[in-house]
């Protein structure tokens, strides 16, 4: 059983690294964006609620986000562990996740924090916006997203840090270098790979 969470500001590469680490440890990478899209696609009650909120341009509530993630974590492929990306994103969601895991007699093995300097995140996101022709991703919009991360998500690291399960990784370097750093740090913590991996 390998239960991981990857945390980092926008532009830190956590989505890419999350998939790589999940593959390396033989568990599914579960990102909130993918979970929302899947819930909407399958037309479930939860999916219909998510669809209506997203179409209205609103943020999905903590309660509904947690319900959708709980549903995803209850699926068979996550029985042997998982890597969460983008959830929990604030202290309320941390509480929801803790309650769910405790109910199953489980806990997170490690929280991977990808550390990237703010100016590096902004540079990466600005470049990505130019490459993808995303004119709405201005420097001001990007700076605002980073401010939300610093205000809402960074505090969850305090909770997990107090438990001694945060592994801080330098998020600057090539994809392979960063993946190797994460794998080495998890190995050093004794995080076990799922047998099928």
Catalytic sites, residue numbers: 14, 89, 128, 134, 145
Distance separating alpha carbons of residues 1 and 73, to the nearest angstrom: 13
State how far the Cα of 188 lies from the Cα of 179, in Å rounded to an integer.
14
Coil, strand or helix: which one is 47?
A: helix
DSSP per position, 18-30:
HHHHHHHHT--EE
- For tokens 């309320």, the residue is 92
Output the six-digit token pair for 75.
């699926």
Chain-centroid distance, C-alpha 55: 23
Take residue 49 and report the two structure tokens written for it.
């609620």
**SS3 (DSSP) at 168:** strand
- Pairing state of beta strands 166-170 and 110-115? parallel
Asked if residue 18 lies in contact with residue 85, where contact means CB atoms within 8 angstroms, the answer is yes
Nearest-CA neighbor of 128 among 5, 11, 1?
A: 11
């Amino acid at each position: 059983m390998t239960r991981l969470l990857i945390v980092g500001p926008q532009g830190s590469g956590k989505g890419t690294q999350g998939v790589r680490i999940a593959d390396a440890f033989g568990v599914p990478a579960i990102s909130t964006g993918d979970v929302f899209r899947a819930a909407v696609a399958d037309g479930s009650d939860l999916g219909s609620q998510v669809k209506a909120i997203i179409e209205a341009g609103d943020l999905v509530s903590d309660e509904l986000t947690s319900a959708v993630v709980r549903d995803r974590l209850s699926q068979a492929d996550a029985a042997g562990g998982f890597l969460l990306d983008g959830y929990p994103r604030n202290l309320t969601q941390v509480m929801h996740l803790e309650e769910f895991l405790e109910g199953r007699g489980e806990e997170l093995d490690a929280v991977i924090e990808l550390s990237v300097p703010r100016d590096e995140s902004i540079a990466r996101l600005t470049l990505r916006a130019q490459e993808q022709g995303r004119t709405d991703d201005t420097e001001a919009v990007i700076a605002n997203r980073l401010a939300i991360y610093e205000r809402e998500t960074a505090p969850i690291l305090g909770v997990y840090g107090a438990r001694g399960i945060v592994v801080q990784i330098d998020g600057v370097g090539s994809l392979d270098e960063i993946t190797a750093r994460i794998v080495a740090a998890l190995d050093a913590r004794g995080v076990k790979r799922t047998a099928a991996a």
